[in-house]
Amino acid sequence: MTEMAKLHSNRRSHAAALIAQAGLDAAAFVPGPNFYYLTGEAFHLMERPTVLFVTKSADVVAIIPELERLKWSQSFPDAPTFFWNDSDGFEEAFAAAGAELKGMAIGVEGGRMRVFEFQALCRHFARDGVRDADSTLAGLRISKDASEITSLQRAIDISETALSETIEEVRAGMTEKQVQNLLKSRMLENGADGYAFEPIVLSGAKAANPHGVPDGSELQSGDALLFDFGAQIQGYNADITRTFFVGHVSDRHAAVYDTVKSANERGRNVATSNMTAHELDTIVTSVLLDSPFADMIVHKTGHGLGLDVHEAPQIMIGNREPLVAGAVVTIEPGLYGAGDVGVRIEDDVLIEESGSKSLTGFDRQIRVLG
């Protein structure tokens, strides 16, 4: 067995333990991060249903479109697999899988599996035996292994190099779209496989929209300039936000920035394993609440990061699950004043047994460009 095959086998054993603990017999996965994590094979989520089953004994069963036979069989030549052709449809494959896993209670990824796949499972398995297991399966990828941390760090390093090169060229009069395109090209030139998501570059009052869309708006002197972006390496995503100012920065905007910076620093300093996500969010948000800008808070502190840009754990009020060593989370406090300014500072932080380590290192001091 190769090292990669052993890695994926160990991951399936971990999944099997979670499945058994939840009182299930197996879990069904559609193409996406968990499917890739457990097999090392990336399939498209498309009109052809593709389903991986992992049992509580760590056995693999699959429903695979015929056109993917060669790809699948190279990795899983001995797994019971039910292939189907477009001309015949997928019902017989689901029926055969149902017979193979007869009587088993099946957990599904409720946040990812589509209705037609769920309905097909219900037709060929006991309907009351197919249930949402999202909360159980969310624990599968929380703690990252060394190979995952290496990929995340590479994605972050590429992202930070690209940002450094981009801001050296930023000047008043450029458009948001021009800056976005420059950032994208710099990420690819520095070795990114692709982008974690379409990079956000927003200026002036538009920066007050946390997930706004860059356009032809020109950068003006005195504008905030917010970057939210990340490179992708081997499926793993960086997610970084930095806010700059163009030409000059007003005293008020500098005060908003310093408040966000203090909240970000506080979160990075206190984050540790066995602290709950609720506690971390409360500590970070309290810095914002105690400032003159409390009415400018619009979102939680952060989220898990890995094969998904947003994955467990969610760093938010009400999530009382303890953070675990090996988790990578974002700490991204922000303040947003409609029609005025938006400031966010986001770091990717590895939770450790005692404390945490910021995988991002890009300077957080206030900076004026141009």
Taking only the tens place, the pLDDT of each residue in 95-111 is: 999 999 999 999 999 99
Write down the pLDDT at residue 217: 96
130 contacts 108 by C-beta, under 8 angstroms? yes
Query: Could you tell me the pLDDT band of residue 126, with boundaries at 50, 70 and 90?
Result: confident
CA dihedral 173, 178, 179, 182 (to 10 degrees): -140
Domains defined for the chain, CATH in brackets: 3-137 (3.40.350.10), 146-369 (3.90.230.10)
Work out the pLDDT band at 1, boundaries 50, 70, 90.
confident
Of 65, 58, 95, nearest to 79 (Cα)? 58
Give residue 301's pLDDT: 98
Residue with tokens 């005195």: 222
pLDDT at position 7: 93
Averaged pLDDT for residues 187-200 = 98
- 274's CB contacts (< 8 A; 6+ apart) are 322, 323
What sign does the dihedral 53-54-57-58 (CA atoms) show? positive
Give which of 261, 279, 182, 173 is closest to 217, Cα–Cα: 173
pLDDT, the chain, mean: 97
Confidence of residue 331 (pLDDT cuts 50, 70, 90): very high
pLDDT at position 323: 98
pLDDT single digits (tens) 141-166: 999 999 999 999 999 999 999 999 99
Give the integer Cα–Cα distance in Å for 263 and 200.
22
Res 61 pLDDT > 80: yes
pTM of this prediction exceeds 0.85: yes
Does the pLDDT of residue 127 top 80, yes or no?
no
Confidence class for position 128, pLDDT limits 50, 70, 90: confident
Model confidence over 270-284: pLDDT tens digits?
Answer: 999 989 999 999 999
The share of the chain scoring above pLDDT 70, in percent, equals 100
pLDDT at position 78 over 90: yes
